[in-house]
Structure 1
Amino acid sequence: MTISFKKSYKFALKSSLYIFLFAIGGLFLLNKFYIQTDFWPLLCFAIGLFVFSFFVLQYRVERFIYRRVKRIYDDVSLLENASFRNQPVTTDMATLTREVQKFARDKKIEIETLKIREEYRREFLGNVSHELKTPLFTVQGYLLTLLDGAMEDKQIRKKYLQRAEKGVERLIYIVKDLDMITKLEMGDINIELSEFNIIDVVQNVFDLLEMRAAKKNISLVFDTKYKYPIKVIADQEKIQQVVTNLVVNSIKYGKQGGTTEVSIEDLVNNKAIVRVTDNGEGIAKSNIPRLFERFYRVDKSGARSEGGSGLGLAIVKHIIESHNEKIYVESEFGVGSEFSFTLEKAK
């Protein structure tokens, strides 16, 4: 450990100077009124006292301050702060004060972050428990009813088994989404880049969700007729999942007889932006910052009646960010919503 004693030298020098001046004054008075002797021996004695005082004071101050400052460093180091462990011990009080204040600020931020994470963990576990509990209890209820005697009735048996199957399907859906988002957050899913036509991907999603949209009489349309392909570079399978999740959301929260429109536009820096717009119920401004959180639902009762895992938008966000792209949302309550994301265009 290297030690800086610049200010302690200054302190010792000033203190020794005071002692020297006091000794000179005292000896001058003694020499004048009591002891008649040469002045030079007295001056030499005073200078010797000055030098002796300087070294004694310097040594004592260094030892006194260093021991106490080192104790502070040792106490702080017990908290395993790497920045304090690696820094040299300093006896400069101003520097020490700044370092301790910085340490306190950093620890406060760290504690606040841990509190937020702990709250998030509790909320996440509660949400997972709630999402899994509903289909589990549903399946259990139908199976218990069958075991209690309803199995003899063929119509009831078939109906209850079909309903139990739907509950199991929802459980599988939730578990798959949980597995995917966990892998996305940990970076365990590889992004396989390829060149493909984004228009074909959107059309595939429209074909897959056409019947679901028809139940609410919602039209799935492009904003215009694209005569030429728009090639992008991304993971085609995962981008199709992004578009699927966004269109499913627009259907889920869309109004009867509404429209879900997809547009693809050019941006600067060789980027394309895909917009999914609906004229559904819209989202209140207070809810927008939390839209991409896991299990967060704007309308909890309505969303659960429509099914889903509550992880769709969280998965969308992670997939887009894993491509180093951006996702945006604009919405006005009672008017509709627009989700958009960027992709790199093929050259």
Structure 2
Amino acid sequence: MKLRLRLALTAVAVAVPAVFALVQVEHSVRRRTTDEVIIASTLSQMQSGGRERCEAAPETWMVRARSPQRPPWEREGLPDGTGPAAGGPRPGDEGPPRMGTRGPLGRRLPPVNLYPFDGQFVSRNPQAPALDDELRKGVQDDGVGVRRYSKADGALVQDLLLRMPWDGGPCEYVLARRVEPAESPEVGLPPLYVWGVPTLILLSAMVVALGPVVQRLRRLTDEVRASSGSGYEQPVTVSGSDEIAELARAFQQARAEIQAQMAHQQAREQTLRDFLANTTHDVMTPLTVLQGHLAAMQQRMRAGEPLESGLMLSAMSEAHYMASLVHNLGAAARLEAGAPQVQHAPVDLNALVSRVLGRHQPIARPQRIALESGVPATPTWVMGDETLLEQAVSNVVLNGIRYGREDGHVAVVLEKTRQQTFHLRVIDDGPGISEEERSRILERRFRGNEARTREPQGQGLGLHIVHNVVELHGWKMTLAPSEYGGLEVAFTGPLMSPPE
């Protein structure tokens, strides 16, 4: 359902009860005013000679009442009386006396029949209706008893029992009965100006009030569509302090979140493209060298010549380098794609150091580099991602092997402190790194002069990944010259209680 139709139905739903209430109020005012007119007319009639005539012949009291005094705007154009000057009945009149009156708004009221009653609520007029308890109680409490009821034909009958300003006699009370025919305005709708004008004002006010709301909603709809069409680059500018402004701000928040997700997705896609490009480019060189070594070994085997140990060691070195390169590129993709899915689980650093050194023994042995370790007697437990931590330690150890000297050493020392922290150091006795280069060595793709000379195919990802992994776990990392002339890379972080 359209908003405009919904608002129109709402306006009708509001206007109908309002009109009904106005009609009820108008009917109530009309009845109350009619009662006041009848009471005033009856009292005036009885005090201006009606009492004497009523008490003289209560069984056949046939005096015609005069019109009551009314305001000028109701009095204009009305007859000045309803009977002869003597007040007697017109020829042919029968029954109780009748009083012609004008009701509210100048409307002529139907005839009112008057019936006399004494102090015991007994009438000598045989045509007088019986009085019920409601009328008696009303006149005793308030001086006026009022009762209204409808006949079977729909006519409205109104009885007013009035106490006269004297005591005793057959006319101590007078019953005024008025009968409204079924087609009378009393039982229908009031005049059009009574309910039509307020209804028109109400509907006009609702249209005026709801018009700007519809315009703001249309503007908001257009701006949201325009923002969606522009890839959520165009903002939603509807402002204010109402519910529509709150909806606009909610769209703005949703737009910002969508833009952030789109940027994150683009970053992930770009990282994947970079990873594929780097992997394709970086693996091709060592793969080509490895293929050459394997082809040379195949030719020697066919010719029956013995294999050279240097050729075998070179092939092994290239294969090891490709494996470490792929691992580093994968770790870099995880770290740079946003918040990686880090698995926080207990990790035993003693076992991690043992695995790293065992993995690098085949590459260190041909270069006559000794791998040594010193770890506590009991397991050293930390919380972290075991795969990333092992990759970080492997990168540091591999750098020590790759850039170390022959007959050199690479040592991994793990210690526990009294402050419930660990201190892991990777020490080598290689050429080391200058202080100027140490300040930049953690940057991605940066490689020191010695590294570029010794390993021109290196990508400079190793220590950059190490630094990111350490920051991700909230640890500290330092680079410093070792006491043996090489480089010392240290990690410090909190310990955890042994898992149960």
Normalising to structure 2: TM-score of the pair? Answer: 0.40
Whether the 8 Å contact between 2:316 and 2:363 is mirrored in structure 1 is no
- Answering whether residue 379 of structure 2 is matched by residue 231 of structure 1, we say yes
Match of 2:285 in 1: 134
The structure-2 alpha-carbon separation of the partners of 1:113 and 1:166, relative to structure 1 and needing over 3 Å to count, comes to same
- Which amino acid in the other structure matches residue 288 of structure 1? L
Whether the 8 Å contact between 1:264 and 1:274 is mirrored in structure 2 is yes
Match of 2:447 in 1: 298
Match of 1:247 in 2: 397
Match of 1:288 in 2: 442
The structure-2 alpha-carbon separation of the partners of 1:345 and 1:184, relative to structure 1 and needing over 3 Å to count, comes to farther
The structure-2 alpha-carbon separation of the partners of 1:309 and 1:153, relative to structure 1 and needing over 3 Å to count, comes to farther
Match of 1:120 in 2: 271
Q: Calculate percent identity across the aligned residue pairs.
A: 16
Cα shift readout 1:220-268 (whole Å, capped 9, x = no counterpart): 576xxx8x72432369x97777645433333434578787562513264
Cα shift readout 1:128-153 (whole Å, capped 9, x = no counterpart): 11232012211333466688999648
CA distance in 2, matches of 1:92, 1:119: 40
Q: What SS does structure 1 have at the residue aligned with 2:447? A: coil
Query: Can you give the 5+ residue segments of structure 1 that lack an aligned partner in the other structure?
Result: 4-41, 82-89, 291-295
- Which amino acid in the other structure matches residue 232 of structure 1? T
- Which amino acid in the other structure matches residue 248 of structure 1? L
Partner residue of 1:55 out of 188, 203, 206: 206
- Which amino acid in the other structure matches residue 69 of structure 1? L
Whether the 8 Å contact between 2:442 and 2:463 is mirrored in structure 1 is no
User: Which deviates more from structure 2 when the two are superposed, residues 118-127 or residues 325-334?
Assistant: 325-334
Q: Which has the higher contact order (CA 8 A, sep 6+)?
A: 1
Match of 1:212 in 2: 364
Partner residue of 1:272 out of 416, 422, 428: 422
Q: What SS does structure 2 have at the residue aligned with 1:229? A: coil
Alpha-carbon shift at residue 340 of structure 1 (Å) = 0.5
Cα shift readout 1:98-136 (whole Å, capped 9, x = no counterpart): 344434544444454344434433332222112320122
Alpha-carbon shift at residue 53 of structure 1 (Å) = 2.8
Cα shift readout 1:3-33 (whole Å, capped 9, x = no counterpart): 9xxxxxxxxxxxxxxxxxxxxxxxxxxxxxx
Q: What SS does structure 1 have at the residue aligned with 2:377? A: coil
- Which amino acid in the other structure matches residue 60 of structure 1? G
* Counterpart mapping for 1:156-195 below 5 A: 162=312, 165-166=315-316, 169-170=319-320, 173-174=323-324, 177=327
Cα shift readout 1:17-61 (whole Å, capped 9, x = no counterpart): xxxxxxxxxxxxxxxxxxxxxxxxx9x999776534312213433
The structure-2 alpha-carbon separation of the partners of 1:261 and 1:315, relative to structure 1 and needing over 3 Å to count, comes to closer
Whether the 8 Å contact between 2:425 and 2:488 is mirrored in structure 1 is no
The structure-2 alpha-carbon separation of the partners of 1:316 and 1:102, relative to structure 1 and needing over 3 Å to count, comes to closer
Alpha-carbon shift at residue 64 of structure 1 (Å) = 3.1
Whether the 8 Å contact between 1:136 and 1:171 is mirrored in structure 2 is no
Q: What SS does structure 2 have at the residue aligned with 1:127? A: helix
The structure-2 alpha-carbon separation of the partners of 1:176 and 1:102, relative to structure 1 and needing over 3 Å to count, comes to closer
Q: What SS does structure 2 have at the residue aligned with 1:154? A: coil
The structure-2 alpha-carbon separation of the partners of 1:278 and 1:160, relative to structure 1 and needing over 3 Å to count, comes to closer
Whether the 8 Å contact between 1:273 and 1:341 is mirrored in structure 2 is yes
Partner residue of 2:246 out of 95, 98, 106: 95
Cα shift readout 1:70-111 (whole Å, capped 9, x = no counterpart): 454566678999xxxxxxxx9745435534443454444445
Q: What SS does structure 2 have at the residue aligned with 1:298? A: coil
Match of 2:133 in 1: none
Alpha-carbon shift at residue 328 of structure 1 (Å) = 2.9
Whether the 8 Å contact between 2:441 and 2:447 is mirrored in structure 1 is yes
Q: What SS does structure 1 have at the residue aligned with 2:327? A: helix
Whether the 8 Å contact between 2:286 and 2:318 is mirrored in structure 1 is yes
Match of 1:340 in 2: 491
Q: What SS does structure 1 have at the residue aligned with 2:426? A: strand
The structure-2 alpha-carbon separation of the partners of 1:251 and 1:134, relative to structure 1 and needing over 3 Å to count, comes to same
Whether the 8 Å contact between 2:348 and 2:380 is mirrored in structure 1 is yes
Q: What SS does structure 2 have at the residue aligned with 1:288? A: coil
Alpha-carbon shift at residue 169 of structure 1 (Å) = 2.8
Normalising to structure 1: TM-score of the pair? Answer: 0.53
Larger Rg: 2
CA distance in 1, matches of 2:311, 2:305: 10
The structure-2 alpha-carbon separation of the partners of 1:62 and 1:145, relative to structure 1 and needing over 3 Å to count, comes to same
- Which amino acid in the other structure matches residue 274 of structure 1? L
CA distance in 1, matches of 2:462, 2:441: 16
Whether the 8 Å contact between 2:283 and 2:322 is mirrored in structure 1 is no
Alpha-carbon shift at residue 276 of structure 1 (Å) = 2.9
Which one has the bigger helix percentage? 1
- Answering whether residue 482 of structure 2 is matched by residue 331 of structure 1, we say no
User: Which deviates more from structure 2 when the two are superposed, residues 179-188 or residues 165-174?
Assistant: 179-188
- Which amino acid in the other structure matches residue 246 of structure 1? V
- Which amino acid in the other structure matches residue 57 of structure 1? V
The structure-2 alpha-carbon separation of the partners of 1:123 and 1:115, relative to structure 1 and needing over 3 Å to count, comes to same
Alpha-carbon shift at residue 281 of structure 1 (Å) = 0.8
CA distance in 2, matches of 1:145, 1:216: 24
Alpha-carbon shift at residue 304 of structure 1 (Å) = 3.6
Q: What SS does structure 1 have at the residue aligned with 2:433? A: coil
The structure-2 alpha-carbon separation of the partners of 1:63 and 1:106, relative to structure 1 and needing over 3 Å to count, comes to same
The structure-2 alpha-carbon separation of the partners of 1:108 and 1:172, relative to structure 1 and needing over 3 Å to count, comes to closer
- Which amino acid in the other structure matches residue 212 of structure 1? A
User: Which deviates more from structure 2 when the two are superposed, residues 281-290 or residues 167-176?
Assistant: 167-176
